[in-house]
Protein backbone atom coordinates (compact mmCIF):
# COMPACT_ATOMS: atom_id res chain seq x y z
CA UNK A 1 0.00 0.00 0.00
CA UNK A 2 1.19 3.54 -0.69
CA UNK A 3 2.32 5.75 2.20
CA UNK A 4 -0.31 8.06 3.77
CA UNK A 5 0.01 11.65 2.61
CA UNK A 6 0.12 12.93 6.18
CA UNK A 7 1.24 11.10 9.31
CA UNK A 8 1.98 12.38 12.80
CA UNK A 9 3.43 9.95 15.33
CA UNK A 10 4.08 10.66 19.00
CA UNK A 11 4.00 14.42 18.48
CA UNK A 12 4.63 16.66 21.52
CA UNK A 13 4.13 20.41 21.35
CA UNK A 14 4.15 22.71 24.36
CA UNK A 15 4.63 26.44 24.79
CA UNK A 16 6.36 28.34 27.61
CA UNK A 17 7.78 26.83 30.78
CA UNK A 18 7.27 26.72 34.54
CA UNK A 19 4.02 28.37 35.57
CA UNK A 20 3.41 29.48 31.99
CA UNK A 21 3.76 25.98 30.52
CA UNK A 22 0.91 25.09 28.13
CA UNK A 23 0.90 21.46 26.98
CA UNK A 24 -1.00 21.37 23.70
CA UNK A 25 -0.08 17.99 22.17
CA UNK A 26 1.31 14.99 24.05
CA UNK A 27 2.21 11.93 22.00
CA UNK A 28 -0.43 12.79 19.39
CA UNK A 29 -0.92 10.49 16.39
CA UNK A 30 -2.86 11.22 13.20
CA UNK A 31 -2.92 9.69 9.73
CA UNK A 32 -4.72 11.18 6.73
CA UNK A 33 -4.82 9.20 3.49
CA UNK A 34 -4.92 10.42 -0.09
CA UNK A 35 -8.39 11.74 -0.98
CA UNK A 36 -9.48 11.76 2.66
CA UNK A 37 -11.10 14.79 4.25
CA UNK A 38 -10.78 14.92 8.04
CA UNK A 39 -12.63 17.58 10.04
CA UNK A 40 -10.99 18.89 13.20
CA UNK A 41 -13.53 20.11 15.75
CA UNK A 42 -12.36 21.28 19.17
CA UNK A 43 -13.02 24.13 21.61
CA UNK A 44 -11.18 27.43 21.38
CA UNK A 45 -7.65 27.11 22.73
CA UNK A 46 -7.58 23.31 22.41
CA UNK A 47 -4.79 23.47 19.83
CA UNK A 48 -6.39 23.35 16.37
CA UNK A 49 -4.16 26.04 14.86
CA UNK A 50 -1.12 24.49 16.53
CA UNK A 51 -1.93 21.11 14.96
CA UNK A 52 -2.44 22.67 11.51
CA UNK A 53 0.81 24.64 11.79
CA UNK A 54 2.68 21.47 12.69
CA UNK A 55 1.12 19.54 9.77
CA UNK A 56 2.01 22.43 7.46
CA UNK A 57 5.64 22.49 8.71
CA UNK A 58 5.18 26.07 9.89
CA UNK A 59 6.07 24.98 13.43
CA UNK A 60 8.16 22.08 14.74
CA UNK A 61 7.21 19.68 17.53
CA UNK A 62 9.49 19.28 20.57
CA UNK A 63 9.49 15.56 19.78
CA UNK A 64 7.76 13.05 17.54
CA UNK A 65 7.68 12.71 13.78
CA UNK A 66 5.64 14.36 11.03
CA UNK A 67 5.77 12.63 7.65
CA UNK A 68 4.52 14.24 4.46
CA UNK A 69 4.04 11.76 1.60
CA UNK A 70 6.28 9.32 3.47
CA UNK A 71 9.09 11.82 4.01
CA UNK A 72 10.07 12.25 7.69
CA UNK A 73 10.60 15.93 8.50
CA UNK A 74 12.11 16.01 12.00
CA UNK A 75 15.72 16.08 10.76
CA UNK A 76 15.24 18.48 7.88
CA UNK A 77 16.98 21.86 7.95
CA UNK A 78 15.04 25.10 7.45
CA UNK A 79 15.63 25.27 3.72
CA UNK A 80 14.56 21.67 3.07
CA UNK A 81 11.45 22.13 5.23
CA UNK A 82 10.47 25.25 3.31
CA UNK A 83 11.07 23.46 0.01
CA UNK A 84 8.97 20.45 1.10
CA UNK A 85 6.21 22.73 2.40
CA UNK A 86 6.06 24.70 -0.84
CA UNK A 87 5.95 21.60 -3.01
CA UNK A 88 3.48 19.51 -0.99
CA UNK A 89 1.25 21.66 1.25
CA UNK A 90 -1.62 24.02 0.38
CA UNK A 91 -3.08 26.31 3.07
CA UNK A 92 -6.53 27.91 3.16
CA UNK A 93 -7.21 30.52 5.86
CA UNK A 94 -10.39 32.05 7.28
CA UNK A 95 -9.66 35.28 5.40
CA UNK A 96 -8.69 34.83 1.77
CA UNK A 97 -5.50 36.98 1.70
CA UNK A 98 -5.76 37.36 -2.09
CA UNK A 99 -3.54 40.01 -3.66
CA UNK A 100 -5.95 42.93 -4.29
CA UNK A 101 -4.21 44.37 -7.35
CA UNK A 102 -4.24 41.07 -9.26
CA UNK A 103 -7.15 39.30 -10.99
CA UNK A 104 -8.55 35.99 -9.75
CA UNK A 105 -6.63 34.18 -12.50
CA UNK A 106 -3.36 35.98 -11.69
CA UNK A 107 -3.75 35.11 -8.00
CA UNK A 108 -3.86 31.41 -8.93
CA UNK A 109 -1.09 31.71 -11.53
CA UNK A 110 1.34 33.51 -9.18
CA UNK A 111 2.33 30.63 -6.85
CA UNK A 112 2.95 28.46 -9.90
CA UNK A 113 5.31 30.99 -11.47
CA UNK A 114 7.18 31.17 -8.15
CA UNK A 115 7.47 27.35 -8.28
CA UNK A 116 8.98 27.60 -11.78
CA UNK A 117 5.93 26.62 -13.88
CA UNK A 118 5.80 28.23 -17.32
CA UNK A 119 3.18 31.01 -17.82
CA UNK A 120 0.97 29.13 -20.34
CA UNK A 121 0.86 25.94 -18.28
CA UNK A 122 0.20 27.98 -15.11
CA UNK A 123 -2.74 29.74 -16.76
CA UNK A 124 -4.18 26.44 -18.00
CA UNK A 125 -3.93 24.94 -14.51
CA UNK A 126 -5.48 28.06 -12.96
CA UNK A 127 -8.43 27.93 -15.39
CA UNK A 128 -8.90 24.22 -14.70
CA UNK A 129 -9.15 24.94 -10.96
CA UNK A 130 -11.40 27.98 -11.33
CA UNK A 131 -13.67 25.86 -13.50
CA UNK A 132 -13.71 22.98 -10.99
CA UNK A 133 -14.62 25.43 -8.23
CA UNK A 134 -17.32 27.11 -10.31
CA UNK A 135 -15.67 30.53 -10.53
CA UNK A 136 -14.23 30.46 -14.06
CA UNK A 137 -16.55 33.32 -15.20
CA UNK A 138 -14.83 35.52 -12.59
CA UNK A 139 -11.27 34.84 -13.82
CA UNK A 140 -10.58 38.44 -14.87
CA UNK A 141 -12.15 40.07 -11.79
CA UNK A 142 -10.14 41.58 -8.96
CA UNK A 143 -10.86 40.35 -5.39
CA UNK A 144 -12.81 43.51 -4.46
CA UNK A 145 -15.21 42.75 -7.33
CA UNK A 146 -16.01 39.27 -5.98
CA UNK A 147 -18.42 38.00 -3.32
CA UNK A 148 -17.04 36.45 -0.10
CA UNK A 149 -17.79 32.93 -1.35
CA UNK A 150 -16.13 33.63 -4.71
CA UNK A 151 -13.06 35.11 -3.01
CA UNK A 152 -12.76 32.03 -0.81
CA UNK A 153 -13.08 29.68 -3.80
CA UNK A 154 -10.27 31.60 -5.54
CA UNK A 155 -8.19 31.22 -2.36
CA UNK A 156 -8.86 27.46 -2.47
CA UNK A 157 -7.80 27.36 -6.14
CA UNK A 158 -4.61 29.23 -5.21
CA UNK A 159 -3.86 26.77 -2.38
CA UNK A 160 -4.32 23.87 -4.82
CA UNK A 161 -2.39 25.42 -7.72
CA UNK A 162 0.85 23.49 -7.26
CA UNK A 163 -0.86 20.08 -6.80
CA UNK A 164 -0.37 19.89 -3.01
CA UNK A 165 -0.59 16.40 -1.54
CA UNK A 166 -1.81 17.88 1.75
CA UNK A 167 -4.45 20.61 2.06
CA UNK A 168 -4.85 22.33 5.43
CA UNK A 169 -7.69 24.72 6.14
CA UNK A 170 -8.22 26.82 9.27
CA UNK A 171 -11.90 27.85 9.50
CA UNK A 172 -12.20 28.21 5.70
CA UNK A 173 -15.89 29.12 5.95
CA UNK A 174 -15.69 31.04 9.24
CA UNK A 175 -16.29 34.34 7.51
CA UNK A 176 -19.24 33.25 5.34
CA UNK A 177 -23.02 32.94 5.74
CA UNK A 178 -24.44 29.37 6.09
CA UNK A 179 -25.51 28.99 2.45
CA UNK A 180 -22.18 30.24 1.08
CA UNK A 181 -20.31 28.09 3.63
CA UNK A 182 -22.10 25.04 2.19
CA UNK A 183 -21.15 25.97 -1.34
CA UNK A 184 -17.50 26.61 -0.47
CA UNK A 185 -17.21 23.44 1.61
CA UNK A 186 -18.66 21.29 -1.18
CA UNK A 187 -16.29 22.92 -3.68
CA UNK A 188 -13.34 22.18 -1.37
CA UNK A 189 -14.50 18.59 -0.93
CA UNK A 190 -14.85 18.05 -4.69
CA UNK A 191 -11.37 19.45 -5.18
CA UNK A 192 -9.84 17.16 -2.54
CA UNK A 193 -11.50 14.07 -4.05
CA UNK A 194 -10.58 15.14 -7.58
CA UNK A 195 -6.92 15.83 -6.76
CA UNK A 196 -6.47 12.94 -4.31
CA UNK A 197 -5.04 15.26 -1.65
CA UNK A 198 -5.20 14.56 2.09
CA UNK A 199 -7.12 17.29 3.90
CA UNK A 200 -7.39 18.41 7.50
CA UNK A 201 -9.98 21.13 8.04
CA UNK A 202 -10.55 22.92 11.34
CA UNK A 203 -14.12 24.12 11.63
CA UNK A 204 -16.66 25.18 14.25
CA UNK A 205 -19.46 24.37 11.79
CA UNK A 206 -20.87 21.01 12.89
CA UNK A 207 -23.11 20.61 9.83
CA UNK A 208 -20.07 20.83 7.58
CA UNK A 209 -17.90 18.64 9.82
CA UNK A 210 -20.49 15.86 9.53
CA UNK A 211 -19.93 15.83 5.78
CA UNK A 212 -16.22 15.03 6.18
CA UNK A 213 -15.01 11.43 5.88
CA UNK A 214 -14.11 11.47 9.57
CA UNK A 215 -14.14 13.87 12.52
CA UNK A 216 -11.36 14.18 15.09
CA UNK A 217 -10.95 16.32 18.18
CA UNK A 218 -8.17 17.13 20.68
CA UNK A 219 -8.37 15.60 24.13
CA UNK A 220 -5.67 15.32 26.79
CA UNK A 221 -3.03 16.23 24.21
CA UNK A 222 -4.16 13.49 21.81
CA UNK A 223 -5.99 13.54 18.49
CA UNK A 224 -9.01 11.29 19.01
CA UNK A 225 -12.05 10.24 16.92
CA UNK A 226 -15.15 12.35 17.49
CA UNK A 227 -18.86 12.15 16.67
CA UNK A 228 -21.28 15.09 16.56
N1 LIG B 1 3.20 31.10 20.41
C2 LIG B 1 2.57 30.69 21.53
N3 LIG B 1 3.11 30.96 22.75
C4 LIG B 1 2.50 30.54 23.88
N5 LIG B 1 1.33 29.87 23.91
C6 LIG B 1 0.74 29.59 22.72
C7 LIG B 1 1.33 30.00 21.48
N8 LIG B 1 0.52 29.58 20.48
C9 LIG B 1 -0.53 28.95 21.07
N10 LIG B 1 -0.39 28.95 22.41
C11 LIG B 1 -1.32 28.35 23.39
O12 LIG B 1 -1.61 27.02 22.96
C13 LIG B 1 -2.98 26.72 23.13
C14 LIG B 1 -3.56 26.26 21.80
O15 LIG B 1 -3.63 27.39 20.92
P16 LIG B 1 -4.24 27.27 19.43
O17 LIG B 1 -4.17 28.62 18.81
O18 LIG B 1 -3.61 26.14 18.73
O19 LIG B 1 -5.78 26.90 19.77
P20 LIG B 1 -7.06 26.83 18.80
O21 LIG B 1 -7.77 25.55 19.15
O22 LIG B 1 -6.66 27.03 17.41
O23 LIG B 1 -7.91 28.06 19.31
P24 LIG B 1 -9.00 29.01 18.53
O25 LIG B 1 -10.16 28.11 18.13
O26 LIG B 1 -9.38 29.98 19.60
O27 LIG B 1 -8.28 29.64 17.39
C28 LIG B 1 -3.63 27.96 23.72
O29 LIG B 1 -3.78 27.76 25.11
C30 LIG B 1 -2.66 29.07 23.41
O31 LIG B 1 -2.67 30.05 24.41
Question: For the domain that residue 130 is a member of, what is the CATH number?
Answer: 3.40.50.300
Neighbour tally for 27: CB within 10 Å: 13
Cα 40 from Cα 54, distance rounded (Å): 14
Q: Could you list the residue range(s) of the whole structural domain that residue 156 is in?
A: 35-58+83-225
Distance 52 CA to ligand 1 centre (A): 11
pLDDT tens digits along 3-30: 789 999 999 999 999 999 999 999 999 9
Q: Is the CB of 104 under 6 A from ligand 1?
A: no
Q: Is the CB of 94 under 6 A from ligand 1?
A: no
Query: What is the domain count for the chain?
Result: 1
Give a yes or no: residue 196 inside a domain: yes
Which mutation among 18, 25, 41, 46 tests ligand 1's pocket best, with the greatest number of atoms within 8 A of CB?
46
* Helix 178-195 with 119-132: angle, nearest 10 deg: 130
Give a yes or no: residue 218 inside a domain: yes
Give a yes or no: residue 78 inside a domain: no
Residue 1 has pLDDT above 60, yes or no: no
Give a yes or no: residue 173 inside a domain: yes
Give a yes or no: residue 54 inside a domain: yes
pLDDT tens digits along 134-179: 999 999 999 999 999 999 999 999 999 999 999 999 999 988 889 9
Give a yes or no: residue 2 inside a domain: no
Give a yes or no: residue 102 inside a domain: yes
Distance, CA of 212 to chain centre? 14
For ligand 1, atom 18, the nearest C-alpha belongs to: 47
What's the pTM?
0.94
Give a yes or no: residue 113 inside a domain: yes
Q: What is the mean pLDDT of residues 181-206?
A: 93
Amino acid sequence: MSKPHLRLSGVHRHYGEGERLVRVLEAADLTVESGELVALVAPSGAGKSTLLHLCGLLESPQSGEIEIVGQPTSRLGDRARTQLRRSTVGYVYQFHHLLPEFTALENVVMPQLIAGVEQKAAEARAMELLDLLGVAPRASHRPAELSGGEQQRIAIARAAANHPRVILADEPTGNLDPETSDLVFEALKDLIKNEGAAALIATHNHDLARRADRIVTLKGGLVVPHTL
